[in-house]
A and B are shown apart, each in its own frame.
Chain A
Amino acid sequence: MPSFEHESPALTNVLPTCLADTLRPTLAARVLKVLARHGVAATIARRTTCCGQPAYNAGYESEARRVARPTVRALAKSQGQIVVPSGSCTAMMSRHWPALFAGTADETRARDVAARVIELSQALAAGSAPPAAGDRDKPVAYHGSCHLERELGERDAPRAALRAAGHEVREPTEGYLCCGFGGTFAVKLPAVSVAMADEKLDSLSATGATTVVGCDLSCLMHLEARARTRRLPLQFRHLAEQLTVRGDE
């Protein structure tokens, strides 16, 4: 239902994120659908690229700025809140953009956008309660991504959204441990990254749930790539995917 893109004047904008553009082009549409259920009318932001985090976390500030600039400028033209289906990108924009663009022509824009970004589950929590969902009572394991839990301090909202949809939410032991993705870390220290994924996959498997839900595609992509190599019977779904059904996009 791409018609959402043309509905106006929707105040809430959704930034699809570069990883979703690459791996799950329909994720943004699903985000719109979930938001709509919670009473939030939204539209997909246009002419955006990436938040610049891959370069920023690897130490390359000017490259990060170059990549993030079109996104800053596009989003600065919008009004209202900007929903991002990634804890990591949200943290990059809200916590680091003001410093990244300090002293540049885009400083004011970056500050304005930083103040308006909100991660998807947080937007859902702020919206109205959704109508009770149907046959969704199967257990899911929740993977709380590092930047969502610690940079943004958001632990409750995603779990609450899953419970509201009728899921039993199971927690892996030592759930705070990182999945080992870490951007370029995954390829700079691949063996350590995989060892961390294995530790996480073992604790996720031990929950007995076969569906793993998270709010960051990056972690999910990493865990899925390793789980498939190990032939583990686990499915990985973004919160927006889990809260919508096929065809919702």
Chain B
Amino acid sequence: MNDVAVRFVTRADRELRNDRVRAAVRHTTSLLAANRSTALDGLADPDAVRDSAHAIRRRAIDTLPQLLDRWAARATANGIIVHRARTAADAVRVVLDLADAQATAGHSPVRIAKGKSMASEEIDLNDALEAAGHEVVETDLGEFIIQLAREKPSHLIVPAIHKSRFDVAELFTTDAGRPIEPDVDAEAAYARARLREAFLRADIGITGVNFAIAETGSVCLVENEGNGRMCTSLPRVHVAIMGMERIVDTWAELDVMLALLARSATGQALSVYTNIISGPRRDDELDGPDEVHVIVLDNGREAIVGTEFDDALLCIRCGACLNVCPVYRNIGGHAYGTVYSGPIGAVLMPLLRPDDPASRELSEASTLCGACTEVCPVRIPLHDLLLRERHRDAPGDASRLRRVTFRLWSVAWAHPLSYRISIHVVRAILRLSSRVPKLARRAPGWAGAWTRDRVVPRVRR
């Protein structure tokens, strides 16, 4: 999926031709967008809640080092082992070492049950664990489907949004070695049985983190399937991976964030499960892991703090911006070629990987229509950030031809007289080319890009 040598436009065109995927993505995103809008209307004053959510997240980013230290001190006092990972490789190393410790203790092969975690996708954790000979099972239904298909998630909260129940039945049939009907209940029943086994056998549970709470040194994890609760309570070791920006100061702040997260993501007032983990099992407790580790992942985030782009770090990964994005809705998540897709992916990737041209070019994946900005619960000015990224990157990244084109155009239009003349020239060209549509369709460059599927714009008197 990560064919970075192929340009975004090529991947987008390829995904666009997949009618089944496009229909599935459009259908589900429309549903989620409508649910979100109804759920937000259910709040007494949604705009005020969003304003305060923005302020809470803004404060967190502005005081990030202090907040993380405060959280880490409390978490450590609670018995949580805190690891700071500067790079993806550092984070992977921590998990591999923990798995090795289990192997050394005689639990080999090490069995790992994973809850949904975009941070773990970001660092390609599964590949590393499997390469080391460990057994990994994704326990979120969508992630499980994606794992069987050997793909990456194509949506922040609905990882298998592009899969129909027929696709799922095929994957499950192969996994089961017996036919599983393309029926949602039959599929759910199979997954439930299969995953229960994984929970019971797991040595390590790995999950993401929605929010760390500095006040009490806790982490909060929301989910709908109960698999997260299993992963955090059944295995001997729980490892949570969090992006370093995913932190709030107090429980009161957490309350505001939770009020918006589920509503914006799925239209639920609250997720079915809200797990708060404040430490390993105490001596007087029956359930819970012996060890809790939290990996705080930087991987390019700290470098964004304090720049004109750092509103991107306010994101709570609700996925609302994907659902309303007309570009995402037509091409799906895989076209982006990166772990984060849709508007927030297009904003975040050029910031997380400023040295990677394939990430930088994602700021082009937008008409700047602003639908994303309108729905973002924490009021990230997504389309303004995309524009600023273009200002940062476009002149340097563009081909010589494109730079020269813009330059010539700007010189021609820098004076009213030459502007008038060029308008007449353009009108003449449009008139002529509309008379020879077949020829116009074969025009090179941008002209041909317009005319391939659209007629030449009509010039009127």
Contact = CB atoms under 8 A, between A and B. Distances in A.
Interface of A: 18, 21-26, 46-50, 55-64, 66-67, 69-70, 74, 146-147, 150-151, 174, 176-178, 180-197, 199, 221-222, 224-226, 228-229
B369 interface: yes
Contact of B416 (A22, A60, A70, A174): A70
A182 B366 contact: yes
A192 B459 CA distance: 25
Interface in B361-396: 363-371, 373-374, 387, 390-395
Contacts of A178: 326, 367, 369, 371
B400 interface: no
Given A60-B394, A70-B414, A150 B374 contact: yes
A187 B364 CA distance: 11
A230 B426 CA distance: 25
B369 A61 contact: no
Contact of B453 (A67, A183, A229): A229
A10 to B, nearest CB: 20
Contacts of A147: 370
A63 B410 contact: yes
A79 B390 CA distance: 34
Contacts of B453: 190-191, 194, 226, 229
Contact of A22 (B8, B12, B398, B459): B459
Contacts of B150: none
A207 to B, nearest CB: 18
B369 A150 contact: yes
B367 A185 contact: yes
B178 interface: no
Say which size band chain B's interface belongs to: 35 or more
12 contacts: A26-B461, A55-B406, A60-B410, A63-B410, A146-B367, A146-B369, A176-B374, A177-B329, A185-B364, A192-B330, A197-B454, A225-B450
A245 B450 CA distance: 31
A227 to B, nearest CB: 9
A195 B367 CA distance: 13
B190 interface: no
Interface in B394-444: 394-395, 398, 406-407, 409-411, 413-416, 419, 423, 426-427, 430
A interface, by DSSP: helix, strand, loop or mixed?
Answer: helix
Contact of B327 (A59, A151, A196): A196
A184 B413 CA distance: 17
Interface string B13-52: 1001000001000100010000000000000000000000
B420 to A, nearest CB: 8
Contacts of B369: 146, 150, 177-178, 182
Contact of B406 (A21, A60, A191, A192): A60
B16 A190 contact: no
Given A23-B459, A49-B419, A57 B12 contact: no
A169 to B, nearest CB: 21
B22 to A, nearest CB: 8
Contacts of B13: 191-192
B460 A70 contact: no
Closest 3 CB pairs of A and B: A59-B394, A182-B367, A59-B390
A199 B409 CA distance: 32
Contacts of B196: none
A174 B170 CA distance: 33
Contact of A49 (B368, B371, B416): B416
Contacts of A191: 12-13, 16, 453
Nearest to B451: A225
A187 B327 CA distance: 14
A177 B330 CA distance: 12
Nearest to A19: B457
B99 interface: no
Contacts of B373: 150
B331 A192 contact: yes
Query: Which of A47, A50, A188: most chain B CB closer than 10 A?
Result: A188
Interface string B318-330: 0000001011011
Nearest to B22: A195
A48 B416 contact: yes
A189 B390 contact: no
A195 B387 CA distance: 23
Given A58-B390, A192-B331, A67 B410 contact: yes
Nearest to B387: A57
B454 A226 contact: yes
